[in-house]
Amino acid sequence: MNPKPLLAGQSAVVTGAGRGIGAAIAKALAAAGASVAINYSRSADESEALRSEIEAAGGNAFTIQADVSREDDVQAMFDATIKRFGTVDILVNNAGIQIDAPFEDMKLDQWNKLLAINLTGQFLCARAAVREFLRRGVAPERSAAAGKIICISSVHEVIPWAGHVNYATSKGGVGMFMRTLAQEMASRRIRVNAIGPGAIATDINRNAWETEEAKAKLLKLIPYGRVGAAVDIGKAAVWLASDESDYMTGQTLFVDGGMTLYPEFRDAG
């Protein structure tokens, strides 16, 4: 007899799921038995292709457009998901952007727009999820927890990144947001954790790994000797969303090939 899938009978919202890490997470959750709301802001065609791929593999998914920085959009997304699936068990706060500039040239709009998506968006989605988790409470046949939130952070939650001050600030904020929310919600059986990806090969950072020269430079920062794949993050998300990690809350799981080990110091600095 095949074992019951880890997330059988549960439903998930994955923000920014049209491509890259978000798409890999959505596929992994669906393969583990969860019904998935694939959120996107602009990548409608890619999101529909992902939905088709999930359904062709026997999963259950639908696509939903929403700007996570807009309160009304977020509420409408959760209302639609609850109407479709009955409830929400898992939120993966993945939506994020990167707008780079030297600090002295950074425009206020570049700062505000990035924080609105990367940090305020996580707040709005988490708040909507928590409200649903508290309304439903623990359903033991679904999960030991009332709900699970996974915040997608970055190694730059802890590693400063010159030339990317808005991005690094947002990820540092995600880390403290996650830990504080976990502290507040633990007694109510809501688990909140984060994943901090390192260098993951996606289209958005293709210039950092596509050529052999760029890849060799990048690998100097990765002790494990390979660039990460989006599927690596998907596997971690399934574990954090499942009861296999039920005693874990308030933690950032760095999936980075050792980047946060500061490899420049391997030879005594």
- Residues forming the active site: 167
d(CA 52, CA 27): 11
Beta bridge partners of 36: 12, 61
Whole-angstrom distance, CA of residue 215 vs CA of residue 100: 20
The string of DSSP letters for 115-127 reads HIIIIIHHHHHHH
* Burial zone of 181 (CB within 10 Å; 0-12 exposed, 13-18 middle, 19+ buried): buried
Q: What is the DSSP letter of 42?
A: S
Using CA atoms, how far apart are residues 157 and 84, in angstroms rounded to an integer? Answer: 34
Give Rg (Cα) of the chain. 18
How far is 153 from 241, CA to CA, in rounded Å?
Answer: 16
How far CA 85 is from CA of 60, 89, 175, 234, in Å, comes to: 10, 10, 29, 21
User: What's the CA gap between 251 and 78, in Å, rounded?
Assistant: 25
Task: Identify the three-state secondary structure at position 235.
Answer: helix
**How many whole angstroms separate alpha carbon 242 and alpha carbon 90?**
9
Encoding tokens for residue 251?
């933690």
**Two structure tokens written together for 46:** 């890619």
